[in-house]
Amino acid sequence: MKKLANLIANLKVVSHSISFEVKLQKKKFIIFSIITLFFYSLTTIVPYVFISSMDLPFNSQFDLYQYSIFIFMTILFLTTGFFFSGIVCTEYKKKTGLTLLPLIDKHNLIIGKYIANFLLVIGIAAIQYFLMALLAFYFFAEPIPPSLFLSFAYLALYILALASITTFLSSFMPSAGPVIIIIVALNFFGFSIFDVFVTPTGIEPLYSLTYLSNIISNIVYPEFSTMVRYYDFTPRFWRFPSAEGALIVLTLYAMVFFLLGYLLFKRRQL
């Protein structure tokens, strides 16, 4: 009973931390939601809904989903980086959470902040998927396919993986700025550098978050399990990972880097 009571008490503390972090990040959530809406309107809604001279390049709702998710991934990468970049290091620098919640245990504080920021990023992604579903129904008048929910599940796992990497960086960086710079560099240059050495071998680049993210836009197709995953060029060109491969590697990314970040966090004192 004592363990149960302690668990309930810790859950209440974490819930207070989540509530506090959501309020703290409310403006950032609104800003990135507006950016998501504006970018999708600019690239998809305005050209194909309001400009009659533009021919619709999508043969099905699945083509629309794939295109929409593909262009959203860069925004999602940056959004996750901005939300999680200061999750640990800002507490060392500003002690915001411990100042306003002085009685909360620092471990529960970080767990609460992690969950809160994950929910906020998921909320922004949900806005994107809602807009996609509305536009698909507008053009094709078909029900939402179950594969879209599967795509969203992989997107959530991808966010967890990226969030854990960002949290790991935040656990030893002095401020959020360098973390964001590293995350941006990782997205645009980091994995590409590894690709230079790995691509000639023909090995599947499961180490690359950029490659792993391709499953999110491709798994929306009902025929995903029979789709060609690579082309036998010289060298072999990989299009997207298998569902099992992406699930395993993204889960490992999420667990390993969160654990590393947590261990580094325990070694430092707030």
pLDDT digits (tens, 9 = 90+) for 137-153: 999 999 999 999 999 99
pLDDT at 222 over 70: yes
Judging by beta carbons within 10 Å of its beta carbon (0-12, 13-18, 19+), is residue 242 exposed, middle or buried? middle
pLDDT number for residue 73: 93
The answer on pLDDT for 8 being more than 80 is no
Terminal C-alpha separation, the chain: 32
**Whole-number Å distance between alpha carbons of 99 and 110:** 14
Residue 103 has pLDDT above 80, yes or no: no
Q: What is the pLDDT of residue 11?
A: 77
Q: Hey, is 145 helix, strand or coil?
A: coil
The answer to whether the CB of 242 falls within 8 A of the CB of 153 is no
The model's pLDDT over 150-208, given as tens digits with 9 standing for 90+, comes to: 999 999 999 999 999 999 998 888 888 899 999 888 877 878 888 888 888 888 999 99
Distance, in Å, from the CA atom of 135 to the CA atom of 244, rounded to the nearest integer, reads: 30
Q: What percent of the chain shows pLDDT beyond 70?
A: 89
> Residue 97 pLDDT more than 80?
no
Q: How far is CA 206 from CA 39, 44, 125, 199, 225, in A?
A: 29, 30, 23, 12, 18
Say if CB 249 and CB 204 are below 8 A apart: no
Q: Per mean pLDDT, which of 15-19, 34-38, 227-231 is the most reliable?
A: 34-38
Q: Looking at per-residue confidence, does 243 or 10 come out higher?
A: 243
How far apart, in whole angstroms, are the C-alpha atoms of residue 104 and residue 106?
6
Give 224-270 as a DSSP string: GGGS--EE--SS-EE----HHHHHHHHHHHHHHHHHHHHHHHHHS--
Tell me, what's the pLDDT at 104?
57
DSSP string, 158-183: HHHHHHHHHHHHHTTSSSHHHHHHHH
Asked if pLDDT for residue 20 goes beyond 70, the answer is: yes
124 forms beta bridges with none
pLDDT of residue 176: 86
Query: What is the model's pLDDT at position 94?
Result: 59
Mean pLDDT for 15-43 is 92
Q: Tell me the average pLDDT of the chain.
A: 87
How far apart CA 30 and CA 120 sit, in angstroms, is 10
| Single-letter code of the amino acid located at 26 | K
Kindly report, residue by residue over 35-84, the tens digit of the pLDDT.
Answer: 999 999 999 888 888 876 667 888 899 999 999 999 999 899 999 999 99
